[in-house]
Amino acid sequence: MDWPALLPSDLDYCRSIVDPAQLIPTLASHADEDLVRFFEVAADDETWTLNHKDVMEAFIAFLTQEFSCKRLRVIHGQRITEAIHRHIDVLRSLLPHDLHLVVKGGEANGNSLLYGVQSPIFRDLLDRSYKKGQVLKLTFADVPKNVFDVVAEYILIGDVTTLYRHSLDMLKRILLRAGQWQISGLVTLCADVIKRYVNRDTATDLLQTAQAYALPELKQACCDVLNYMDLGAQFAGGGPSELKVTIEEFRDRNIPMLMEVASSITDLALRGHVCETMEIKELLPRCARLAALDLHGSQGFDLDLLPLLPRLRELDLGSCDWLQNAVASIILQRLDGLKTLILSESPQLTYEGFAHVADQTALENLNCTYCTNMEDPFLTHIARGCRALVEINLSWCPKLTDIGMRSLGSLSPGLKVIDISDCTKVSNAGLHDLVRPCTQLERLTMQHLPLVSEEGILDVLALCPKLKFLDIRQCTITEAAIDRIKERRPDLELQCS
């Protein structure tokens, strides 16, 4: 018996086989990896496949059955499927049809290995319904045949050669079905073709489609078109499931579009007096997925919006002159489960304003930079309530002293990122008490701490073995000490100029 031209040496034990019928049992007696690798090599040698059709037909039937019986891992099934796709013209006639699929207006046969590998939904149906030696019948009465034919082509060959010829409506129906059956490759193909249809008239509709199926490239294409239209609002894709919208002002042209995409918005930034308009009161209740609200620098706030705040996970109230103690207290009492809170550039806030920050027990990131009235008792109160803190920015809080640093370190040992730049009353002792309990500290910014000496900086390095970033600009340290730090901690990103 001859063998595929590129048979690897570790499969040379197959060369001792005389009877082709013994090939599969021999390979099966070894690891699954041997089965898969032999099939890949054999499929890549199309001449060998054509000369041994009976062997390859039996091979594919065996692999199909092994997968259907859950004896073949999905990762191996993926490699087999890829090999079949590469050589579908040669292997198409050798595939066993152990699936009979009935759809609206037609029927089709298919291979359970190809369907199960490429769709977790089909894989689950096979797991629940497969019976050895029987053709499995699956009915999808709501799936039109013309849509199913496209899905079936992708399942069989890993591509759809005429996808670009379909209308936008047809592409959306194919995308819907591919999404429901979790055929990720076909979803991506549809999105690539749909991008050609993005224009002023379709951008908002397709933006929602992109958001629903987590299609970042299509989403960005829609955002680019909307941003080009100068609507008084800016759109950004962010992560696969994020849609960020910044509203500078409401205009007659942007109101319908914003209302249309409201259900997809996850991050919303409101500028100027937008918070006080009737339009925002209509828009926000429609933002069912809203998780982040950015009011940084806004010029007003309406308390009628308070009922919408509890679902937020991120809130930016930085540089808002209207954020007086009483308003801050009311807002903070309405929050529940907040992860990130930005109160930067709020010198007007005192203890009354900061008090309810401590109620945010899930808070991980707190930014109080330029909160010049932040004092040690306020910080202690916050740290006592916010035990989940991972990141804190206290730069330009000049009233903080070593006492506050000691409280923060002891009450928030999980901190990984700290900024205490320009906390000019902090000394070596306070710095030591801050970082000593924080064994996970990775980033420390401590610019312009005149009471911290070279000894204090070296103490930080001794106490923080996981430190990756240290900013000591405008601190007292010699060039010789900096050279020693770089030599001993070459992995440390050091800012010292």
Residue 270 has pLDDT above 90, yes or no: yes
Supply the pLDDT for residue 442: 98
Per the model's pLDDT, the better-predicted residue between 345 and 251 turns out to be 345
State the Cα–Cα distance between residues 432 and 310, nearest whole angstrom.
37
Supply the pLDDT for residue 238: 79
Report helix, strand or coil for 235.
strand
Residue 130 has pLDDT above 80, yes or no: no
Closest CA to 37 of 70, 68, 82: 82
Supply the pLDDT for residue 235: 94
Phi/psi of residue 344, nearest 5 degrees: -60, 150
Supply the pLDDT for residue 54: 95
Most confident of the ranges 19-33, 84-98, 277-291:
84-98
Show Cβ contacts of residue 148 under 8 Å, excluding neighbours closer than 6 positions: 101, 103, 106, 108, 140, 177
User: How many angstroms separate the Cα of 43 from the Cα of each of 24, 53, 88, 207, 468?
Assistant: 15, 11, 9, 41, 49
CA 414 from chain center: how many Å?
A: 24
Supply the pLDDT for residue 340: 98
State the Cα–Cα distance between residues 382 and 386, nearest whole angstrom.
6
Residue 132 has pLDDT above 80, yes or no: no
State the Cα–Cα distance between residues 428 and 51, nearest whole angstrom.
81
Distance in angstroms between the alpha carbons of the first and the last residue of the chain: 73
User: How many angstroms separate the Cα of 195 from the Cα of each of 93, 163, 220?
Assistant: 35, 13, 10
Supply the pLDDT for residue 309: 87
Average pLDDT, the chain: 94
Closest CA to 226 of 193, 192, 190, 251: 251
In the predicted model, what is the mean pLDDT of residues 329-357?
95
Q: What would the pLDDT profile of 385-419 be if each residue is shown by its tens digit?
A: 999 999 999 999 999 999 999 999 999 999 999 99
Q: Which residue has the tokens 């304003």?
A: 353
Supply the pLDDT for residue 69: 87
In the predicted model, what is the mean pLDDT of residues 170-188?
95
Q: Residue 135 — very low, low, confident or very high, per pLDDT cuts 50/70/90?
A: confident
Supply the pLDDT for residue 252: 83
Residue 90 has pLDDT above 80, yes or no: yes
Q: Residue 77 — very low, low, confident or very high, per pLDDT cuts 50/70/90?
A: very high
Of 99-108, 295-304, 335-344, the one with minimum mean pLDDT is 295-304
Q: Residue 128 — very low, low, confident or very high, per pLDDT cuts 50/70/90?
A: confident
Cβ contacts of 219-227, under 8 Å, gap ≥ 24: 219/243, 221/195, 222/198, 225/198, 225/199, 225/200, 226/257
Q: Which residue has the tokens 């894709």?
A: 237
In the predicted model, what is the mean pLDDT of residues 446-454?
96
Query: What is the reported pTM?
Result: 0.80
Q: Residue 258 — very low, low, confident or very high, per pLDDT cuts 50/70/90?
A: very high
Closest CA to 334 of 376, 367, 301, 369: 301
Residue 36 has pLDDT above 90, yes or no: yes
Supply the pLDDT for residue 134: 83
Q: Do the Cβ atoms of 14 and 34 come closer than 8 Å?
A: no
Supply the pLDDT for residue 478: 92
| % of the chain at pLDDT higher than 90 | 84
Supply the pLDDT for residue 143: 96
Supply the pLDDT for residue 38: 96
Residue 166 has pLDDT above 80, yes or no: yes
Q: What would the pLDDT profile of 300-326 be if each residue is shown by its tens digit?
A: 888 878 888 888 999 999 999 999 999
Of 170-174, 208-212, 460-464, the one with minimum mean pLDDT is 208-212
Residue 497 has pLDDT above 80, yes or no: no
State the Cα–Cα distance between residues 39 and 37, nearest whole angstrom.
5
* CB atoms near residue 281 (< 10 Å): 14
Q: What would the pLDDT profile of 184-224 be if each residue is shown by its tens digit?
A: 999 999 999 999 999 999 999 999 999 988 899 999 999 99
Phi/psi of residue 59, nearest 5 degrees: -60, -50
* CB atoms near residue 307 (< 10 Å): 11
